[in-house]
Amino acid sequence: MSPADADPAAKPLSGLRVLDFSTLLPGPLASLILAEAGAAVTKIERPGDGDAMRGFQPRFGETSAHYAQLNRGKSCLTLDLKAPYAVARLTPLIEQADILIEQFRPGVMDRLGLGYAAVTATNPRLVYCSITGYGQTGPARNEAGHDLNYLARAGLLAIGGDSTGKPVIPPGLIADIGAGALPAVINILIALRRAETTGQGAHLDISMTDGLFAWSFWGQAQAELTGATPEPGAELLTGGSPRYQIYETQDQAYIAAAPLEDRFWRLFCDIIDLPKALRDEDADPKAAIKAVQERIGAKPAAHWRAAFAGKDVCANLVQDIAAARADPLFQARGLFQDRIAAGGGVGMTASPMPIAPVFRDAGKETKVPSLTPQDKDSGGAAL
């Protein structure tokens, strides 16, 4: 019986142990979500400067704010994975672990003696999660890439182009988070369930590029069934409809308008006083978009904030991050109660993770793991 079974107040993943060999964003975010749900995460970092994200700006104590946000609440073991004693040093930890996360190119962990076959020989129930750009197999498996490359390869970047067809750089790291970290966590939890019932773990091949296809399911269906590739900036959800648009106000603010359903669209049109002839936008969507922009552009943001307030219309002002953090909606939901401590009185608000409120510890404080001195013990004693 796990500690979570024994103690109803324990978090759902309490008692689980995670070894995290990953760096930067996808893997560390995945292990952070597991840690937020109660798992004990040990992050393995290289000697010297550790995870490259430690060197990013802005600074937060002895590390970076980015590193602190993604690795708070974890412990750290500094170890040269190429050292002759590295496998022996890690073996007791691997034997005790439930989950292993790695983010190297395919074959690297095998060369280090830490591949799936090697580690599961002594721990067959281990859930071994490999996160890569293009997967463990296939002709691109060893290609370097970043979020923008994966979006381009999977066709998602083209769908999001503007009316000229030129793709725009997305503001969020869709591949790293939405097709990397989150699918990793989902598959880890599925594999844990199987391990609980059968004693058999799994090697999870998480390809961020593969995972992006779920984000464009509607475009794929259109392309396959009609033979027509979605036109950039011209589809229902990419700028071709007045019902899903961003409109500029008189004072250079912006309204995000998404009154897709007829009942929302009718109310939206009433509020902005759109002429009746333009409300059936199918006849000439461009004319309808132009007319809506003229109506929105004739008044300042404050006018539209008041006009849409309390109305079931799916329209609101575009906020910057500072305004969003101060929004009473998110303050009331307690998203920014948790803190991260860097020592010496230095602290900051923790970025909220996608953990349901029932599993959160409101107002908790976590610490940033420090780089430990390089381990030189070849005996492999457990930490």
Active centre residues (catalytic): 176
With contact defined as beta carbons under 8 Å apart, do 232 and 160 qualify? yes
The dihedral region occupied by 10, where left means phi > 0, alpha psi between -120 and 50, and beta the remainder, is beta
Strand-pair category, 99-102 with 127-132: parallel
**Residues in CB range of 312: below 8 A, 6 or more apart:** 264, 267
Task: Report the distance separating Cα 138 and Cα 147, nearest Å.
Answer: 19
**Residues in CB range of 186: below 8 A, 6 or more apart:** none
Burial class for 208, CB neighbours closer than 10 Å (0-12, 13-18, 19+): buried
Task: Report the distance separating Cα 43 and Cα 367, nearest Å.
Answer: 14
| Chain-centre distance for alpha carbon 259 | 27
Q: Is 41 strand, coil or helix?
A: strand
| Helix H or strand E encompassing 220 | helix 217-226
Q: Which of 38, 24, 130, 103 is nearest to 70 (CA)?
A: 24
DSSP classification of residue 240? S
Q: Which of 256, 294, 259, 260 is nearest to 274 (CA)?
A: 294
Length of the chain: 383
Q: Which of 369, 380, 373 is nearest to 76 (CA)?
A: 369
Burial class for 212, CB neighbours closer than 10 Å (0-12, 13-18, 19+): buried
Phi and psi at residue 95, in whole multiples of 5°? -65, -30
Distances (CA, A) of 182 to 30, 174, 176, 198, 346: 7, 10, 9, 24, 30
